Amino acid sequence: MRLRIGYELRYQFPQPTPVILMLNVHDSRVCDLEKPDDIVIEPPVPISRYRDVFANQCSRILAPAGAMRISTDTVVRNPELPDLVAADATQVSIQDLPDDTLVFLIASRFCDSDRLLDLAWTLFGRSCPGWARVQAVCDFVHAHIAFGYEHARVTRSASEAYQERRGVCRDYAHLAIAFCRALNIPARYCTGYLSDIGTPRPYPPGDFAAWFEAYLGGQWHMFDPRNNVPRIGRVLLARGRDAADVAITTTFGPNTLEAFRVWTDEAGEAGGARP
């Protein structure tokens, strides 16, 4: 399957402003791109690149005062199958976990698992360890939170999402991650593209999506408590402890986001155009 992916962000900056961008497809998916997903900035400015502590691709710019457009448009080859379900994946004892998974057991800015420790064991302590336990967490979070873009708040923590019972996809991911960490299951936050292929029309406006990965049976497995069903057309951008680590843009000064557009569309055969 060929997916046309991309975005267009339009900003207005009142003064020169440093910006960090995390908008490139993750290294694990770069080989699937038909052409590089280069970040196009208008008016052009120099871009410097680096890797963060989680090996995500990051870009730095100094945005001049005035209007700026940030965009990309490319095609990625993606499996036609929905997300993998590995129902027999087992929970790994803490003493047997690889060193690089341990950071994803610790409470973080938005995944305040220390505040949810007792609740997590009350809710899920009797569930079967492993995949079934993580799925029980996802089932609970999916039912507990009411989705709505009007509920978005960038400062909401997992414990607040539990109390308020509303939010957007990042809140679903944060709450599920916090529960998993409280249950001694390493869990990390993911952001990327997610298509609507296979879901009923009409499709909603495009957006970036949030999900998470849990470490089970010796490898990382994907879970999506917001949708809570296997989906087709998921393309990873970045991973971290929570949304604070993988913001698509981080601006160090006042600005106005005037337009935001994301697409993840089926592209058909090579040479096909995006509708």
Task: Show contacts of 144-149: CB within 8 Å, 24+ apart.
Answer: 144/175, 145/171, 145/172, 145/175, 147/172, 147/226
Closest to 251 (Cα-Cα) out of 171, 153, 154: 154
Residue 116 tokens read as: 């949810």
For position 272, what pLDDT does the model report? 39
Q: Does one domain contain both 262 and 241?
A: no
The residue written with tokens 């960038």 in the block is 154
Q: Does one domain contain both 142 and 44?
A: no
Q: Does one domain contain both 173 and 132?
A: yes
3-state DSSP helix/strand/coil % of the chain, to nearest 5: 25, 35, 45
Average pLDDT of span 148-176:
97
Average pLDDT of span 247-275:
83
Write b or e for each residue in 23-50: b if 16 or more Cβ atoms lie within 10 A of its Cβ, otherwise e: bbbbeebeeebeeebebebeeeeeeeee
Domain assignment of residue 164, yes or no: yes
Full residue range of the structural domain in which residue 60 is found: 2-72+248-266
Confidence of residue 205 (pLDDT cuts 50, 70, 90): confident
For position 274, what pLDDT does the model report? 40
Alpha helices (H) in 17-130, listed in sequence order: 27-30, 117-124
Pairing of the two strands 17-21 and 2-13:
unpaired
Domain assignment of residue 102, yes or no: yes
Average pLDDT of span 148-170:
96
Q: Does one domain contain both 56 and 131?
A: no
Domain assignment of residue 40, yes or no: yes
The predicted model scores a pTM of: 0.95
Domain assignment of residue 85, yes or no: no
Which residues contact residue 237 at a Cβ distance below 8 angstroms, ignoring those fewer than 6 apart?
Answer: 22, 23, 24, 25, 26, 56, 191, 192, 193, 208, 246, 248
For position 273, what pLDDT does the model report? 38
Q: Does one domain contain both 109 and 149?
A: yes
Structural domain count, the chain: 2
pLDDT per residue as tens digits for the range 212-248: 999 999 999 999 999 999 999 999 999 999 999 999 9
CA distance linking residue 274 with residue 229, whole number of Å: 27
Domain assignment of residue 275, yes or no: no
Average pLDDT of span 118-129:
98
Q: Does one domain contain both 149 and 216?
A: yes
For position 269, what pLDDT does the model report? 62
pLDDT at 275 over 70: no
pLDDT at 202 over 90: no
Q: Does one domain contain both 141 and 220?
A: yes
Contact 189, 173 (CB under 8 A): yes
- Bridge partners, 21 (sequence order): 59, 249
pLDDT at 266 over 70: yes
131-135, 224-228, 268-272: which range is least confident on average? 268-272
Q: What are phi and psi of 104, to 5 degrees?
A: -90, 15
47-56, 120-129, 140-149, 198-207: which range is least confident on average? 198-207
CATH number of the domain that residue 253 is part of: 2.60.40.2250
Question: How far apart are the two ends of the chain, measured CA to CA in Å?
Answer: 16
Confidence of residue 91 (pLDDT cuts 50, 70, 90): very high
Q: Does one domain contain both 15 and 51?
A: yes
Q: Does one domain contain both 114 and 64?
A: no
